Structure 1
Amino acid sequence: MHAIRLHAFGPAENLVHEETPDPLPGAGQVRIRVAAAGVHLLDTALREGATGPFPAPTELPTIPGREVAGTVDALGEGTDPSWLGKRVVAHLGMNPGGYAELAVTDAARLHALPDHLGEAEAVAMIGTGRTTLGILQFTTLGPDSVAVVPAAAGGIGTLLVQYAKNAGAHVIGLAGGPAKVALVRENGADLAVDYTEPGWPETVRAHLDGIGRQATVVFDSVGGDAGRAAVDLLGKGGQHLVFGWSGAGGLEAGALTFTEEELTARGITSESVLGPVMIRKAGGDVRGLELAALDAAATGTLRPAVHRFPLADAAGAHRALENRGTTGKVVLVP
């Protein structure tokens, strides 16, 4: 098979498309002929050797990627034979290997795909979709809500805008550049603003004044100056939900934080909703979040946006992510 292998930590160019031996499934496992493999911003940090929710590889070369969809083409010993030939999607967990034509995982991680759900969309929902629903556990959205979504043209941002609109909330989507702002507007946001333009907070404040409301929740995946400006839009009792810091200078910079004194003075709350706290909120049922996300896509309740790259151009996909040149979920197609 062909796969993307990382031989040394460093820039995107270190991702090499090359021929490797076909993997074989072990006991209780399946092999998937991959039709779509997910790429996450975290992958770019792991490529450089950084640590995060998933540890950086300890042995190189390695095949990155933890989200795949395709067709089961081989079974390991003791695996239910009914999986053979089925279209499936799986999150590979702590074991990478997704950037490849073939990937192996435990049968317990599989979800069968309905006929009308494409592999690329399924990959978007098994990771990005489940994270979105995990984030939404920490708030209640309704007609009284005013949700501010930075990075609203990204994979999670797209789904948050849709979910909030479905719940009846007033949605303000922030994105970088006219093309992304147009996508956010098409996705249903009540106001779409370019947060790379000076004075964007004043534009949002004028809009809020016009509807006589203040923001009630900020879904913050960017941090930095943009995240802080978004938090400044919150009214008393507002929520700041943190699940990333892509605009704060990289993984090492950390998320936007506030002291207890600042929060008390503002009358708001701020909490990080990723990792163990999200899993605990879900009662440990990560698979339940996956099922709910896939069902939302299958029924059309949520419509993931997908940005496709050829598998051979994984380096280009990483560069585009790092340069904020993508919209929706980035997916590699063998």
Structure 2
Amino acid sequence: MQAAVVSRFGEPGVFELTELPDPVPGPGEIAIDVSHAAVGLVDVYIRQGLYQEREGMPQPPYVPGLEVAGTVRALGEGVTDFRVGEAVVTLSGTGAEGGYASISVVDAALTVSLEGSGVDPAAAVAAVPNAATAYLALTEVAHLKQGERVLVHGALGGLASTFPGVARGLGAARVVGTARRASLAKAQASTLPYDEVVSSDDFADTLGEQRFDVVIDPVGGQVRTDSLRVMAPLGRMLLVGNASGDWEHTVPTNALWGANHALLGFSIGFYLPNRPDMVRPAARGALEAVRQGLVAIDARTLPLSEVAEAHRLLEEGGVGGRLLLTT
């Protein structure tokens, strides 16, 4: 099979396109003929070496890639829920290997059939894993209630852009987004169910007296602290990323105590392996949001040979929506 291999930690140029032996699924696994592989910021962070000391993270040489779509190639021992040739998409697991290749072996428990969904593989891998993340974060962690108000930072990002639609489907009364370039975001966000999009530079002042029950923060840094100013009593902030790259920023915890606020971290890759029973409910919620048009499918596709360019674009921070690799 053809694969993009990280030869060492470092800049995007560390990728090497190479031929590797075709992998064979083990017990509880399936092999997928990959049509599309998603490229995410976590792939960038791992390639840069930010997680190299964390247990379970891959060491070079390795093939990155958390989420893929394609068709089932082979079934491992004990797998009975799928058939060869079936269209599928994967949700994120704790590993970070195998997606940037023409064949990927994955945990069958983290794989979802697309049969009868009306969602094609490209749209599925662009939207479903992130929409499933949004669904689980809002239902299992933030416990979003009917009629609550939601603020989404990085409004057009691949993960963040799935939150407004899922929140609407769960009964949110108002959804507001923030973005670095608000004028551009307002035009692009017309396909997303935001009530308003404002500049992230001065969002707390712009929002004035508006208060939010749930804040989605994939950005981090000062945005995280400033968000405390617009949270309602008993408000919950979901920490789902750190796109700012500010790893030293801290939040004054006494401010949480005095204002009855909660900061809740959520990473689907570390959640689902411990709660495989939630894969199907999350996938159903995500697919339903996609079917209803609540989740915009904004994806840019590059061939696997341009994997370094895909990572460079993500590092520069100018990508709205999702980046996909085709094999």
TM-score interval, smaller chain: 0.7 to 0.9
Q: Does the Cα contact within 8 Å between 1:4 and 1:314 map onto a contact in 2?
A: yes
In structure 2, the partner of 1:299 is: 291
1:259-274 alignment runs, 5 A limit: 259=253, 261-274=254-267
Shift of residue 289, structure 1, vs aligned partner? 4.3
Q: Cα RMSD over matched residues? A: 2.9
Shift of residue 98, structure 1, vs aligned partner? 0.5
Q: Does the Cα contact within 8 Å between 1:134 and 1:278 map onto a contact in 2?
A: no
In structure 2, the partner of 1:17 is: 17
Cα distance per residue 1:187-228 (max 9 Å; x no partner): 1211111224xx4432221xx4xxxx4222211121211222
Q: Does the Cα contact within 8 Å between 1:222 and 1:245 map onto a contact in 2?
A: yes
In structure 2, the partner of 1:258 is: 252
1:216 pairs, out of 213, 231, 241, with 213
Q: Does the Cα contact within 8 Å between 1:38 and 1:124 map onto a contact in 2?
A: yes
Shift of residue 242, structure 1, vs aligned partner? 1.7
Amino acid in the other structure paired with 2:106: T
Cα distance per residue 1:162-199 (max 9 Å; x no partner): 12334242111011223334222431211111224xx4
Gaps of 5+ in 2: none
Shift of residue 45, structure 1, vs aligned partner? 1.0
In structure 1, the partner of 2:33 is: 33
2:164 equivalent to 1:161: yes
In the superposition, relative to structure 1, how do residues 14 and 117 fare at CA in structure 2: closer, same or farther (>3 Å)? Answer: same
In the superposition, relative to structure 1, how do residues 214 and 22 fare at CA in structure 2: closer, same or farther (>3 Å)? Answer: same
In the superposition, relative to structure 1, how do residues 272 and 257 fare at CA in structure 2: closer, same or farther (>3 Å)? Answer: farther
CA distance in 2, matches of 1:68, 1:124: 9
Q: Does the Cα contact within 8 Å between 1:120 and 1:306 map onto a contact in 2?
A: no
In structure 2, the partner of 1:179 is: 184
CA distance in 2, matches of 1:275, 1:140: 17
2:115 equivalent to 1:110: no
In structure 2, the partner of 1:57 is: 58
So what's the TM-score if we normalise by structure 2? 0.85
Gaps of 5+ in 1: none
Shift of residue 63, structure 1, vs aligned partner? 0.7
CA distance in 2, matches of 1:82, 1:284: 16
1:1-334 alignment runs, 5 A limit: 1-27=1-27, 29-51=29-51, 55-58=56-59, 60-76=60-76, 80=80, 83-91=83-91, 93=93, 94=95, 96-115=97-116, 116-137=118-139, 138-143=142-147, 145-166=148-169, 167-177=171-181, 178-196=183-201, 199-205=202-208, 208=209, 213-249=210-246, 252-253=247-248, 256-259=250-253, 261-274=254-267, 285-297=277-289, 299-300=291-292, 302-308=294-300, 309-334=302-327
CA distance in 2, matches of 1:78, 1:181: 49
Q: What secondary structure is seen at the aligned counterpart in 2 of 1:34?
A: strand
In the superposition, relative to structure 1, how do residues 109 and 200 fare at CA in structure 2: closer, same or farther (>3 Å)? Answer: closer
Q: What secondary structure is seen at the aligned counterpart in 2 of 1:16?
A: strand
CA distance in 2, matches of 1:22, 1:81: 23
Q: Does the Cα contact within 8 Å between 2:92 and 2:129 map onto a contact in 1?
A: no
CA distance in 1, matches of 2:297, 2:38: 12
Q: What secondary structure is seen at the aligned counterpart in 1 of 2:159?
A: helix
CA distance in 2, matches of 1:266, 1:108: 40
Amino acid in the other structure paired with 2:279: R
